[in-house]
Chains A and B, each alone.
Chain A
Amino acid sequence: MSVLPRPSTDASVADAEAADCTEAEVIRATLAGDSHAFSNLIRLHHRRVYNFLYQMTRQHQDAEDLAQQTFIKAYHNLARFEPHRPLINWILTIARNTALNHFRAAKKWDEIPHDTAASEPSPARTAETRDQSENLWGRARTILSRREFEILWLRFAEELSTEETARVVGLTETHVKVIVFRARQAMLKGASQL
């Protein structure tokens, strides 16, 4: 089971292999009923899950609440985890679905618009853009739709493959590639207009 990126040095490779063994052992221990073993998985992945949820919600408290719900669901559904997939990708899938359910319940968010660019930015958003103009992701948030931003984040910030990104968001690989292509075009076009 591949969980952590494998660095080039021998010592780091050994550490990564140890981490792989540790995660597999932790999953086995958790399925055997050891709830304390799951805390090791939380230690490994809580930052990435929280960050991903914060990018979706832009609210610290919501991101933390949803992160808790995500790990609770992961703990109680660990038996359904497919060992050939990286565990973090499975957890990110749960996180995304948890966030979508939260938005639907709160009625704060319509369905993610399909491949549509953001409308005219509000004055608050314009100010945010000015502050973050040096950071591409700040610009991406104003230029791209929610879906485009989410997929771009999974591909380049979380560094998931196209296949894994498609599994997390529930789309086909081709669809993800098309969305990434359009997002890149929009970013390049926005950069040329600055």
Chain B
Amino acid sequence: MSTSTSHPPRLVCRLVRRWAAVGGNPEARSLGSHHIAHCPDCARFFAAVQTLDFSLKRDAARYSAPIPTGLEERITRAVQRSTVAGVPSVNSQRSGARRTSFAFGTIALAGVAAAVLAVVFLPKPVTPSSEVAPRGVLVNTTPSAGVEPLGNRFWNSLPSSASEVLNRNPLEEEAAAVYADAQSAVRFLAMNFLPAAATASGRRLSDG
């Protein structure tokens, strides 16, 4: 079975042997066949490969492991137990999984739809408690006697800062703040730079 080891195979021989192992296009195949037919080293190599293949097949039976006694019965019992122990059988495994996934999907979809409907269509209560009416409110509801609608409960749960923002006038507040700052500045200047008579008149301005 041994091949010639007196010298390493030539490059063309290595290429041809590798090509023969993995296959190639028809043109390369014809060139390789021509080389094999005329190269003694390659002829010995391929003869050794054939012998090796035959020996491997022959020795496989002797190398096989002895089959334990009763193996077939134990395997059969294990398969039968798997069908009894609640593991899905061949027929119901796929259809059962499909039914279960469909049910869960439907329930999840229904829950999402209910949540969307509750958020979108619940009415928003309006409580006109300030002098300036809030803008942008589309729905006006009045709660029935003794029963607070679900929508009122939902909107009443919003943070109080939100309703306060809706009720006050920010521009008016800003103007009042600027006026107060200006008054303070004038008073300061009058107290520090004006004569005593002018300072007294500045005090009267602040009182008025």
Contact = CB atoms under 8 A, between A and B. Distances in A.
Interface of A: 30-33, 35, 38-39, 42-43, 46-47, 50-51, 54-55, 60, 63-64, 67-68, 71-72, 75-76, 78-79, 132, 135-138, 140, 152-153, 156-157, 159, 174, 177-178, 180-181, 184, 187-188, 191-192
Interface size class on chain B is 35 or more
Given A31-B90, A135-B62, A181-B21, A39 B52 contact: no
Given A76-B93, A136-B52, A177-B23, 11 more contacts: A60-B65, A67-B75, A71-B75, A75-B83, A76-B87, A76-B89, A76-B90, A135-B62, A136-B55, A137-B63, A153-B60
A138 B62 CA distance: 10
A18 B91 CA distance: 26
Looking at chain B's contact residues, the main secondary structure is: helix
Contact of A178 (B22, B64, B72, B79): B22
B76 interface: yes
A76 B88 contact: yes
Looking at chain A's contact residues, the main secondary structure is: helix
A50 B60 CA distance: 14
Interface string B4-38: 01000000000001100111000000000000000
Contact of A187 (B45, B52, B67, B91): B52
A33 B89 contact: yes
A150 B69 CA distance: 25
B18 A181 contact: yes
B162 interface: no
Contact of A68 (B1, B5, B60, B78): B78
Q: Which of B89, B90, B93 has the most CB of A within 10 A?
A: B90
B94 A79 contact: yes
B68 A135 contact: no
Interface of B: 1-3, 5, 17-18, 21-23, 45, 48-49, 52-53, 55-57, 59-60, 62-65, 67-68, 71-72, 74-76, 78-80, 82-83, 87-91, 93-94
Contact of B65 (A50, A135, A136, A156): A50
A136 B56 CA distance: 6
Contacts of A64: 68, 71, 74
A42 B72 contact: yes
Given A38-B79, A43-B72, A136-B56, A75 B63 contact: no
Nearest to A132: B63
B56 A188 contact: no
Nearest to A78: B90
Contacts of B65: 50-51, 54-55, 60, 63
Contact of A137 (B59, B88, B94): B59
Contacts of B67: 46-47, 50-51
Nearest to A69: B78
Given A156-B56, A157-B56, A178-B22, A135 B75 contact: no
Contact of B2 (A50, A60, A75, A192): A192
A75 B82 contact: yes
